[in-house]
Structure 1
Amino acid sequence: MNLVILAAGKNTRLDTGIPKSLVTLNGETLMARHIRIFKRFGVKKFCIISGYGAEKLQNALPGLQSTHDADITILHNDRFDLENGFSVFRAKEWVEKNNMGDFFLTMGDHIFDPAFVEEFVKKSSGLGTTLQLAVDMPGESNKHIDIDDVTKVLVDDEGFIDSIGKKIPDYNRYDTGLFRLKSEVFDVFQKSFDQKEYTISESVSKLMDSHEAKSVLVEGYTWNDVDNPDDLQSTIKLMDESRL
């Protein structure tokens, strides 16, 4: 398996002067942590999509490659002013060049308990839909999540996604920012772009009617989105509690 990591965002809310994926926690950047953990669970190749602060990611590349003995490619998204779906599409040439039937996708500013990643890798391997999204059940284990910023998901009894977005009124799951995608998904992103829709959630919505967007419930493990100073502090606290 292979992993695309989105790291193109402008970092307007956690303004450290570097891409959020290069923020260091417990002596390790978020990007290095992704590579270390996902490699442990079978990922062979990594593609980082850069944008804001691209030169800093490029400068970090030799260290990432040598420390983790990893096959890492950086592709630049010069339209990082657009939403995250455009960054996903930037990986299309890498996926096609390497003849990938499917691949994992995550965000450079997210952080996962390794057991969370392991569980999703196992559970998603047998599913056949174009898009699979790791979701969590709202509850005590994720009360640290920024409820105003997290993407909410409404799933049916079979796990198919019925609705997704940050502002949807009815939901029963949280989007954790970890996906498994078939390569055909790029056709869906292109259709979204043709309609001036650039978020991942908008492309997920296009797959819902055909039952090609399915959730994978991964609960009981810790994860977070390190998007702003409060998120950073909550992540440090979770690490101090040995939950990450």
Structure 2
Amino acid sequence: MQELYTEGINDLSKELNEFSNDSKVVIIAAGNGTRLQPLSNNRPKCLINILGLSIIERILNSVKEIGLTNIIIVTGYKRKIIKSEIGDGKKYGVSIQYIYNSEWEKGNATSVYSVRNIVGDDFILLMADHLFDSQNLKKVIDFPLIKNTCLLAIDSNIDHIYDVQEATKVDLDNSIITNIGKELLNYNAIDTGMFRFRRSIFDALEKSFAENKYNIQDGIKYLIQNGLMYGTDIGDKFWQDIDTQVDLQHVETQLLELQNKAYGSYGL
């Protein structure tokens, strides 16, 4: 009996994939940030300054802090400005490869699909308008994923989300995501915009594209149908998406409070 148990554990360990520090971190920075106009009229949203650093610089610092250095930035709107200001990543201690997504206006799923030939079977996906504590990302890469399954960092502390109406809602049964979308009436967590994907996401996106659906959540719904989408809760750690000038003011206040508490890391 003990031998059978040991064999079972060994078989399971073969299925579990540890995230390699050599794996890619993909940052989607293709959108035009229309809700942040006029700030985004002449430059991408990810380059907007918050307390001395641009949004994407804070993201790069957080990624580097936990030892990930292979970055892919997917660009679209004002792509040359991003590449000119951020460069090859050396000043941030990372290596950056740029991919231009000519179909960025269709939806953010096209930006994910654009990296299909340059990522392996395990990669991180981040949004260039989401700030986060680096420990959120550490939790994602440490999660024991089984082959073909994908992961979303979620926030179950819904009462502390100041803009729930704008947030993407998630419903989970234990750690398995059963539904996702902005219009969900029944949900128990919020999507924080931080993913760990396998190549199964590309098959799912192809199915959603066939239906002329180009949002990441559209592809994720196919993963959900097959029980391949998991969630991990970030607990009380900081994160914030930035869509409007009100969001900018809110995140500045949050960062100042966190700096005063010397709490965590969020791309300083």
TM above 0.5: yes
**Could you tell me whether the CA contact under 8 Å between 1:136 and 1:176 is conserved in 2?**
yes
Quote how far apart the aligned CAs of 1:183 are. 2.0
Partner of 1:13: helix, strand, or coil? helix
Say if 1:192 and 1:139 are closer, same or farther in 2 by CA, change over 3 A: closer
Tell me which amino acid in the other structure corresponds to 1:49: V
1:53-107 residue CA offsets vs partner (Å, 9 max, x unmatched) = 1111121232x62311321011111112111111110111221xxxx22000010
Which residue, out of 215, 219, 225, partners 1:209? 225
Quote how far apart the aligned CAs of 1:139 are. 3.6
Query: C-alpha distance in 2, partners of 1:113/1:69?
Result: 18
**Structure 2: gaps of 5 or more residues:** 1-22
**Could you tell me whether the CA contact under 8 Å between 1:41 and 1:121 is conserved in 2?**
no
Partner of 1:81: helix, strand, or coil? helix
Partner of 2:118: helix, strand, or coil? helix
Partner of 2:166: helix, strand, or coil? coil
Which residue, out of 137, 140, 148, partners 2:165? 148
Matching of residues 18-29 of structure 1 within 5 Å? 18-29=43-54
Quote how far apart the aligned CAs of 1:37 are. 1.3
**Could you tell me whether the CA contact under 8 Å between 2:158 and 2:188 is conserved in 1?**
no
Partner of 2:34: helix, strand, or coil? coil
What's 2:206 paired with?
190
Q: State percent identity of aligned pairs.
A: 29
Structure 1 residue ranges, 4+ long, deviating more than 6 angstroms after superposition: none
Normalised by the size of structure 2, how large is the TM-score?
Answer: 0.83
What's 1:235 paired with?
251
What's 1:84 paired with?
108
Which residue, out of 81, 84, 89, partners 1:65? 89
Say if 1:92 and 1:132 are closer, same or farther in 2 by CA, change over 3 A: same
What's 2:156 paired with?
137
Which residue, out of 65, 68, 74, partners 2:98? 74
Query: C-alpha distance in 1, partners of 2:200/2:67?
Result: 22
Normalised by the size of structure 1, how large is the TM-score?
Answer: 0.91
Larger Rg: 2
**Could you tell me whether the CA contact under 8 Å between 2:157 and 2:236 is conserved in 1?**
no
**Structure 1: gaps of 5 or more residues:** none
What's 1:33 paired with?
58
Query: C-alpha distance in 2, partners of 1:93/1:27?
Result: 35
Quote how far apart the aligned CAs of 1:120 are. 2.5
What's 1:44 paired with?
69
Quote how far apart the aligned CAs of 1:233 are. 0.6
Query: C-alpha distance in 2, partners of 1:139/1:192?
Result: 29
Question: What is the total number of aligned residue pairs between the two structures?
Answer: 234
C-alpha root-mean-square deviation of aligned residues, in Å? 1.5
Tell me which amino acid in the other structure corresponds to 2:161: K
